[in-house]
Chain A
């Protein structure tokens, strides 16, 4: 318990250093653009691939489970849309990104720490926490919600493809489903959730990377911790946000 409190205290102390005025705005902007490329753009493909398959699987499973003459077929499209909007595109994509992005952030910062690059920044008078971590957090908060929106669109399209090739539901019925009873708030809810998840993933992974001590083994350990703890906190906040916002 004491250890947990120690980590929470150190995490917030680090955040205080992270959220300070950048030394040079031009350098900060350039770093943020680099991070958008590393964190965001490089994740588009994996998000698209996973979302297509998940959308398709949702449709196929719903078709199998709702195979009943009294249940309208358009509900398959509606169900797929709601699944993608409410849960998959924000939470599941966040869990996938906590592995890809979180592991990457922790190993990058961890390697910089054990090779004394972080000390080199400090000795120059640079606030290493702000210089290294703030662009990652900003880039994540800016780009991960965008990935969520892409995931929603592509996932529903994946469902449509499944409807096209699956005998249980026609593409026409599927389209009726995805256009029925649409609540725009669900998109807002999902984007807000993914923004908060983006902060959780980037900050917790940065914390584990930044406080790495030792050598290569410890860098690996930090990456693992980053993925595990950011995933747990994402799931915890998923419950809290769902309770608060729906």
Chain B
């Protein structure tokens, strides 16, 4: 379980995260939603330890991340997997080498064992016959799936996905969403997904946190998102006039 306790983050005097408090449970797909620039990625990077928090704390199963020394942080990082917005696959490595990389760095597996595990992970994300291809030779959707395969190679306890659907068509997005959801349940991972895709929210959101201008404005599940009564959330969810009409129909129909 990850607990975020009164987290503040500022860059050069500019407050990006303002007193964020929440927790993320294992086996659940936790979604952070909000407009671009609202602070979702910064929050995720603070949780992952890529940014240090200005104030507050992040607890991993009760252990304070801020108070850990470098060695302890390193250990906990081996339990994390992250899917970046652009995939962040290593350009100079093939698909298979990308997935094998964390295994090579942190396990004593033989080459054959590593290859077997990499192939298992690739198969799990429905990638076949692309082992020897380089990231530039595969599509965006495949890159995201390879990134997920790399993220789960070491059986992580925590999985972070920063806008895994960005740049993908709706059908591929749903495939990626379902994959994240399945993996979360299958391995009982604590998953945090940053998104502003409402399809994802409705499809996989067990717990949803809405961030607006660096503050947590609302949290709940997908069933409560349409009638939260919070103007900022309504403006985000029903951004277009057509969606606003649908909201009225939804509420009156209720």
Interface residues of A (CB under 8 A from B): 23-24, 27, 111-112, 115-117, 119-120, 122-126
With A24-B105, A125-B77, A126-B105 as known contacts, state yes or no: A115 contacts B86, CB within 8 Å. Answer: yes
Q: Majority SS of interface residues in chain B?
A: mixed
CB contacts (< 8 Å) of A23 on chain B: these are 105-106
- In the complex the two chains form, is A124's CB within 8 Å of B77's CB? yes
A68 CB to nearest B CB, Å: 57
- In the complex the two chains form, is A125's CB within 8 Å of B104's CB? no
- In the complex the two chains form, is A116's CB within 8 Å of B84's CB? yes
> CB within 8 A of A123: which of B82, B101, B106?
B82
B160 CB to nearest A CB, Å: 8
B82 CB to nearest A CB, Å: 5
- In the complex the two chains form, is B91's CB within 8 Å of A120's CB? no
Cα–Cα distance between A27 and B91 once the two chains are bound (Å): 17
Interface residues of B (CB under 8 A from A): 45, 48-50, 73-75, 77-78, 80-82, 84-86, 88-91, 101-102, 104-106, 160
Cα–Cα distance between A27 and B48 once the two chains are bound (Å): 25
> CB within 8 A of A116: which of B81, B88, B105, B106?
B88
- In the complex the two chains form, is A115's CB within 8 Å of B50's CB? no
- In the complex the two chains form, is B78's CB within 8 Å of A120's CB? no
CB contacts (< 8 Å) of A116 on chain B: these are 84-86, 88
CB contacts (< 8 Å) of A112 on chain B: these are 91
- In the complex the two chains form, is A24's CB within 8 Å of B78's CB? no
Which residue of chain B has its CB nearest to the CB of A38? B92
- In the complex the two chains form, is A24's CB within 8 Å of B90's CB? no
- In the complex the two chains form, is B74's CB within 8 Å of A125's CB? yes
- In the complex the two chains form, is B91's CB within 8 Å of A123's CB? no
- In the complex the two chains form, is A122's CB within 8 Å of B106's CB? no
Which residue of chain A has its CB nearest to the CB of B76? A125
With A122-B50, A124-B78 as known contacts, state yes or no: A117 contacts B105, CB within 8 Å. Answer: no
Cα–Cα distance between A117 and B84 once the two chains are bound (Å): 9
Most chain B C-beta atoms within 10 Å of own C-beta, residue among A24, A111, A117: A117
CB contacts (< 8 Å) of A120 on chain B: these are 82, 84, 88-90
- In the complex the two chains form, is A115's CB within 8 Å of B102's CB? no
CB contacts (< 8 Å) of B160 on chain A: these are 123
CB contacts (< 8 Å) of B86 on chain A: these are 115-116
Which residue of chain B has its CB nearest to the CB of A123? B82
A122 CB to nearest B CB, Å: 6
What are 25 contact pairs spanning A and B, CB under 8 A?
A23-B106, A112-B91, A115-B88, A115-B91, A116-B86, A117-B88, A117-B89, A117-B91, A119-B50, A120-B82, A120-B89, A120-B90, A122-B50, A123-B48, A123-B50, A123-B80, A123-B81, A123-B82, A123-B160, A124-B78, A124-B102, A125-B73, A125-B77, A125-B80, A125-B105
Cα–Cα distance between A227 and B91 once the two chains are bound (Å): 24
A138 CB to nearest B CB, Å: 18
> CB within 8 A of B88: which of A27, A119, A125, A126?
A119
CB contacts (< 8 Å) of A27 on chain B: these are 104-105
Cα–Cα distance between A115 and B106 once the two chains are bound (Å): 23
- In the complex the two chains form, is A123's CB within 8 Å of B77's CB? yes
Cα–Cα distance between A119 and B78 once the two chains are bound (Å): 14
